[in-house]
Amino acid sequence: MKQKLLLIVFSIVSLYLQAQQEFHVFPNDHKLTPGTAQGNGSVDKPWDLQSALTQNIAAVNAGDTIWLHEGVYNGRYMSTLQGDATQGFITVAAYPKDNVTLNGNIISKRTSVLEVKGGYVIFKDFEITWLGEFSRDESDANFQVCSGIRHLTGVNCRFYNLNIHDNPGLGIGSWKHGAGTIIENCRIYNNGFMSKDGKGRGEGIYVQNKSKETRLLKNNIIYNNYYKGIEVWSAGKKANMEFVKHITLEGNIVFNSGSPSGTHRDNVIIASDDRTGINVAKHILVSNNILYHNTSKPNGNLLGDAPSLTIGYNKKAPVEQVIVKDNIIAGGYNALRLLYAKSLHFTNNKVYTGIVQVNPETMSYYQDWNFRSNTFFSKLKTPFRIRGIGIYSMGTLNAKYQLGADSEVIHINDFELEPVLHLSQHSQKETIFHLAVFDSEGKDVNVDFSKYNFKSNLSYKLYDAERPNIILKSGTLSIDQKLIVPMQIADFQKPLHNTKAKKTLSSFGVYIVEFESALPVETSEIKKGNIFKRFFKWLGF
């Protein structure tokens, strides 16, 4: 009987180990178990990071996990790991409760801290940055441009809960060959540099897509990058194919783009600079995002040039099938720019701006627009400006072009929003929330968590997203499951080696809330091994 039982157990264990394995990576300067290229990925003989990321499918396959253990990994890395469409993903993640940092501040010909070339891989729960002294001025002899992540190829990758900041380049570049990729619950900030022409360079996310399979950017916090927040864009002028299409932006909080370079840049732009009319931005959905610039200067005056959303760039490539709905769009005099759009669905948005800028070429297509049920906050009674054609109130715009039904313009003196603008729970870590709040007078905001049915007296930690490494407040959730969020916060984490970036005004705040886990920590290979040992001991071995 015992022999039969053993045979069954060994068969199950064998199948399990073949189906799903765990491997381990340690920094190569770890005192006890340094990672090496000669390792085998075990806890006792771990790999170094670059060796782990270039394992072939004979060693690391779909369903496997590569655990990155505590420490700083100095270097620039390339991943060629390849999962499988039917068998699943390979996961590269920080070991539970370990703090893992990839530091790209070395001398290298590679232009990103992490370059991704394989598909069906999940990267999650670690930090990508530059540490120490480095130049952010392209004119300096020792300057190196370096992005956080350069996702060149490999479809259906997942980037979850990554902390990408202070890289002298863009945060994430996810290019046209990465169909089906998801970037979710990441914090992307303080990336970029000053170019030789004195302008800021370095977006939060730069994304393209040549596939019909949708690219998803969801619930990310993106701020204080040197250039724009999110670019759905191609700068190529002579395209022979479409590769700015089927992209969704949902639930992102994007604010103060351009601040480190002393300017205000688009929080989001959707466009192409193609002159052939082939590579047109199309099939783009922008839903439930917050796109925010400080709405006024500290003295109360409206900001000047501070676009928050721009649609279209070149008249030869007007966007098509773009849906913008249920967003909060706040900026300066030109917060909303509708430059070149052939077909546009713009509904249920709240827009704080001086004017809505429209280029005359766009009016050739307005019959294909659905532009209704929006609220505009402006100090002007006639905020709609069609260059070279006319200046319009909401009423005259609707009368002449049938645009703006069920919409209204409200004076900025009466600008008010719901106190809780955004509250989202991480899909991978249900104890973490992203939060955005507003109070025109900068008073504390009460946030209700009752719909999540947390247990009584659940412990929490509250972080200001602009100072993410310092606990702003901690305690236990009240009986009514409400948390009071302070708004009067002056300190923030400036970009490394930068003096120009500014914090948001006290009327607007973005936060991260972490609750204690009511769930057990993920079972690791080490614990599984102990389970098997106890089982075999029970059998008498």
Query: Could you tell me which of 79, 143, 139, 141 has the C-alpha nearest to residue 113?
Result: 79
- State the average pLDDT over residues 305-331: 97
Evaluate whether residue 312 is within a structural domain.
yes
Total domains in the chain come to: 2
Structure tokens at 205: 């996310």
- State the average pLDDT over residues 402-409: 97
- State the average pLDDT over residues 365-389: 97
Question: What is the domain extent for residue 486?
Answer: 420-515
Percent of the chain with pLDDT over 70: 91
- State the average pLDDT over residues 448-471: 95
Structure tokens at 254: 């994007």
- State the average pLDDT over residues 263-282: 98
Where does 20-156 have alpha helices with state H?
Answer: 49-53
User: Which pLDDT score is estimated for 526?
Assistant: 52
User: Which pLDDT score is estimated for 457?
Assistant: 87
- State the average pLDDT over residues 239-245: 97
User: Which pLDDT score is estimated for 439?
Assistant: 95
User: Which pLDDT score is estimated for 304?
Assistant: 84
The span from the CA of 114 to the CA of 288, in Å, is 30
Query: Could you tell me which of 33, 14, 15 has the C-alpha nearest to residue 24?
Result: 33
* Single-letter amino acid code for the residue at 453: N
User: Which pLDDT score is estimated for 537?
Assistant: 45
- Domain end, chosen from 374, 397, 415, is at 415
The answer to whether 335 touches 376, Cβ cutoff 8 Å, is no
Evaluate whether residue 408 is within a structural domain.
yes
Which regions of 359-452 does DSSP assign to beta strands (E)?
Answer: 369-372, 375-377, 384-386, 390-392, 408-410, 420-425, 432-438, 445-448
The span from the CA of 397 to the CA of 451, in Å, is 42
Evaluate whether residue 109 is within a structural domain.
no
Task: Reduce the DSSP state of residue 6 to 3 states and report it.
Answer: helix
Evaluate whether residue 540 is within a structural domain.
no
Is the pLDDT at 418 greater than 60? The verdict is yes
User: Which pLDDT score is estimated for 297?
Assistant: 60
User: DSSP class of residue 342?
Assistant: S
How open is the CA angle 212-216-221, to the nearest 5 degrees?
Answer: 160
More confidently predicted of 114 and 453: 114
Digit-coded pLDDT (tens) for 343-357: 999 999 999 999 999
Kindly state whether residues 411 and 442 are assigned to the same domain: no
User: Which pLDDT score is estimated for 456?
Assistant: 80
Kindly state whether residues 411 and 424 are assigned to the same domain: no
pLDDT band for position 3 (50/70/90)? very low
Kindly state whether residues 428 and 389 are assigned to the same domain: no
Using CA of residue 448, residue 454, residue 458, residue 462, what is the dihedral sign? negative
- State the average pLDDT over residues 398-424: 96
pLDDT band for position 365 (50/70/90)? very high
More confidently predicted of 321 and 413: 321
Distance of CA 450 to CAs 125, 444, 463, 487, 518, Å?
Answer: 27, 19, 20, 22, 16
| CATH number of the domain encompassing residue 445 | 2.60.40
User: Which pLDDT score is estimated for 20?
Assistant: 87
User: Which pLDDT score is estimated for 541?
Assistant: 47
User: Which pLDDT score is estimated for 242?
Assistant: 97
Kindly state whether residues 425 and 479 are assigned to the same domain: yes
- State the average pLDDT over residues 384-410: 97
More confidently predicted of 160 and 304: 160
The span from the CA of 489 to the CA of 460, in Å, is 19
Kindly state whether residues 283 and 380 are assigned to the same domain: yes
pLDDT band for position 303 (50/70/90)? confident
Kindly state whether residues 368 and 429 are assigned to the same domain: no
pLDDT band for position 455 (50/70/90)? confident
The span from the CA of 179 to the CA of 85, in Å, is 12
The span from the CA of 126 to the CA of 123, in Å, is 8
Is the overall model pTM greater than 0.85, yes or no? Answer: yes
Task: Reduce the DSSP state of residue 538 to 3 states and report it.
Answer: helix
Digit-coded pLDDT (tens) for 109-152: 999 999 999 999 999 999 999 999 999 999 999 999 999 999 99
Evaluate whether residue 430 is within a structural domain.
yes
Evaluate whether residue 507 is within a structural domain.
yes
Rg over alpha carbons for the chain, rounded to the nearest Å, is 25
b/e map 365-399, b = 16+ CB within 10 Å: bbeebebbbbbbbbebebbbbbeeeeebebeebbe
pLDDT band for position 534 (50/70/90)? very low
pLDDT band for position 520 (50/70/90)? very low
User: Which pLDDT score is estimated for 523?
Assistant: 46
- Domain end, chosen from 377, 393, 415, is at 415
Kindly state whether residues 397 and 454 are assigned to the same domain: no
Kindly state whether residues 244 and 319 are assigned to the same domain: yes
Percent of the chain with pLDDT over 90: 89
User: Which pLDDT score is estimated for 6?
Assistant: 44
Kindly state whether residues 404 and 474 are assigned to the same domain: no
The span from the CA of 200 to the CA of 193, in Å, is 6
User: Which pLDDT score is estimated for 464?
Assistant: 98
- Domain end, chosen from 415, 438, 463, is at 415
Is the pLDDT at 314 greater than 90? The verdict is yes
User: Which pLDDT score is estimated for 332?
Assistant: 94
Kindly state whether residues 382 and 448 are assigned to the same domain: no
Kindly state whether residues 237 and 256 are assigned to the same domain: yes
- State the average pLDDT over residues 81-88: 96
The answer to whether 432 touches 426, Cβ cutoff 8 Å, is yes
Q: How far is CA 485 from the centre of its chain?
A: 23
Digit-coded pLDDT (tens) for 150-209: 999 999 999 999 999 999 999 999 999 999 999 999 999 999 999 999 999 999 999 999
Query: Could you tell me which of 219, 326, 317, 231 has the C-alpha nearest to residue 270?
Result: 231
pLDDT band for position 302 (50/70/90)? low
Kindly state whether residues 384 and 501 are assigned to the same domain: no
Is the pLDDT at 4 greater than 60? The verdict is no
